[in-house]
């Protein structure tokens, strides 16, 4: 069975809402080690699960990038993308499918298919639903050395938070730290 992995960029105080402008993937620091980690994760996944808003933001940005040295553009253009939406009919991006209807059923079907990891990123409303349904197998959290004090959090108002087991951590030159946790069960 495939794993559903939630990958999020977050501040030190747990904020994952990037609308405050804290998240600067390009930054000033050498990020070659961080980019290598992103490529490793991309190689371990063959499916991307997104909510409609994040999907539309990605679709409006990434396919237009021509000088991306991180490999993100190539990955996103080639990976199978699943957008959860009750209103979208045509995703208008190659290798994209719309999932509508029962989220738990749809995700369990995806996980049951042969393949590599399924990654959910951004998409906070969707991720909160996946957590509450107990569908997440692993969390990979890129923690940026920034404190905001306000904003949407990954485990905000959660009552069904699973027991987590640290399975890895990695520090990057930029000050970002990747922590990986598996769910217990």
Bigger pLDDT: 1 or 136? Answer: 136
| Angstrom distance (rounded) from CA 11 to CA 3 | 25
How long, in residues, is the chain? 185
Q: Residue 121: is it exposed, middle or buried by C-beta count within 10 angstroms (0-12/13-18/19+)?
A: buried
Give the model's pLDDT for residue 149: 86
CATH number of 4-183: 3.40.430.10
Please, what is the Cα angle at 143 between 69 and 177, to 5 degrees?
Answer: 75
For residue 100, pLDDT over 60 is answered with yes
Q: In the chain, where are the structural domains located? A: 4-183
SS3 state at 47: strand
* Mean pLDDT value across the chain: 90
d(CA 126, CA 51): 6
- Rounded CA-CA distance 181/104 in Å is 21
Q: Convert the pLDDT of each residue in 4-63 to its tens digit.
A: 999 999 999 888 887 666 666 545 678 889 888 988 999 999 999 999 999 999 999 999
Helix or strand holding residue 57 (H, E): helix 52-61
């Amino acid at each position: 069975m495939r794993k559903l992995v939630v990958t999020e960029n977050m501040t030190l105080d747990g904020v994952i809402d990037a609308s405050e402008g804290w998240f600067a993937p390009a930054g000033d620091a050498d990020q070659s080690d961080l980019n290598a980690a992103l490529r490793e994760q991309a190689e371990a996944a063959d499916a991307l699960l997104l909510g409609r808003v994040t999907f539309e933001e990605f679709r409006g940005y990434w396919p237009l990038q021509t000088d991306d040295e991180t490999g993100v553009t190539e990955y996103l253009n080639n990976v199978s993308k699943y957008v959860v939406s009750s209103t979208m009919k045509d995703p208008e991006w190659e290798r994209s499918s719309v999932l509508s209807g029962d989220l738990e059923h749809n995700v369990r079907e995806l996980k049951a298919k042969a393949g590599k990891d399924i990654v959910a990123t951004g998409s906070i409303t969707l991720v909160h639903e996946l957590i509450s349904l107990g569908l997440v197998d692993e969390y990979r959290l890129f923690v940026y050395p920034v404190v905001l004090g306000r904003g949407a959090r990954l485990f905000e108002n959660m009552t069904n938070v699973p027991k987590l087991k640290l399975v890895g951590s990695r520090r990057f030159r930029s000050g970002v730290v990747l922590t990986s946790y598996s769910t217990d069960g």
